[in-house]
Amino acid sequence: MVAPPDNDVLWARALHFTHNDGSPALSGVSLGVRQGEILAVGGPSGSGKTTLLRCLSGLVPAQRGEVWFNSTPVHTMGPLARERMRRDRFGWIDPVPALVPELNVWENTALPLMLRGTSRRRARTAAQEWLERLDVGELTRRRPHQLRQAERQRVCIARALAPAPTVLFADEPTAPLHRADRAHVLRTLTTAARSHGITVVLATHDAETAALADRTVPLLDGRCVRTVHLPPVQDTEGRAACSLSV
Ligand SMILES: Nc1ncnc2c1ncn2[C@@H]1O[C@H](COP(=O)(O)OP(=O)(O)OP(=O)(O)O)[C@@H](O)[C@H]1O
């Protein structure tokens, strides 16, 4: 087992994952994510983006291959150790907002901090700050069912950022937002990540979203593809320049 390069906070080698019904999702994906980097995982629907994020975060173990977080091999960890790592070091944003219905907005936002052992008072203060940054600071006492879908998603983003995770996994985080909201929320997310040194792995099929990242790894049918841009050619015969994905 060879340890990953020192400057990669997250590193995966030859990941394979097949779902229980036999659907292949990852077929030998290898990548490294540098400390503080915002990495977009691109690709069309069904290309394996969600599965890759789930394997990298230790939510599900890959059937073959290696995942390393800093110098720790995630692929050899048991379920409890992976759960603790996710609680203490990682954040997660789903495409569909999932909040605890019995808790109000600030309690939902403060929950990951309190699970890490932060006092209720400090967790509440941090939650309030992040809710304000995401323009939902006036909704703190409401329950999830009293919010619009877009507001619920902002709360989920505040909840993921509040503990300043080492790595934030964001799976199509702006999917439930209107186009007008999207840019603002994404900017808040990426600015917060950069100012707090949070590494972000962002799954998206949207080129505009991917453009906010430092780098994009495109997936296709569970494999990383490399985009090769050909040099511009003289368009003497009316042909357009093109790029190839290999
Ligand atoms: N629970 C499941 N059971 C069986 N097959 C699944 C399951 N979840 C995903 N798949 C299949 O695994 C492959 C990869 O899916 P995945 O959700 O990782 O892709 P994705 O790029 O995130 O797609 P999307 O953008 O639509 O979420 C697809 O062929 C998908 O149909």
> Which residue's CA lies nearest to atom 16 of ligand 1?
48
For a ligand 1 pocket test, name from 49, 53, 57 the mutation site with the most ligand atoms within 8 angstroms of its C-beta: 49
Q: Per CATH, is 35-58+79-229+238-245 categorized as 3.40.50.300?
A: yes
Contacts 24+ apart (CB under 8 A), 42-45: 42/204, 42/205, 42/207, 42/210, 42/216, 42/217, 42/218, 42/219, 43/205, 43/218, 43/219, 43/220, 43/225, 44/205, 44/220, 45/205
Give domain limits for the chain.
Answer: 35-58+79-229+238-245
Q: Which atom of ligand 1 is nearest to the CA of 21?
A: 4
42 to 75, 76, 137, 210, 217: CA distances (angstroms): 24, 27, 32, 7, 6
Report the C-alpha gap between 69 and 33 in whole angstroms: 10
Report the C-alpha gap between 225 and 17 in whole angstroms: 17
DSSP state of 217: E
What are the phi and psi torsion angles at 35 (to 5°)?
-55, 125
pLDDT tens-digit profile, the chain (246 residues): 666 677 799 999 999 999 999 999 999 999 999 999 999 999 999 999 999 999 999 999 999 999 999 989 999 999 999 999 999 999 999 999 999 999 999 999 999 999 999 999 999 999 999 999 999 999 999 999 999 998 999 999 999 999 999 999 999 998 888 888 888 889 889 999 999 999 999 999 998 899 999 999 999 888 888 655 556 655 444 443 333 333
For a ligand 1 pocket test, name from 17, 45, 172 the mutation site with the most ligand atoms within 8 angstroms of its C-beta: 45
Answer whether 19 contacts ligand 1 (Cβ < 6 A). Answer: yes
Ligand 1 centre from 221 Cα, in Å? 10
Answer whether 199 contacts ligand 1 (Cβ < 6 A). Answer: no
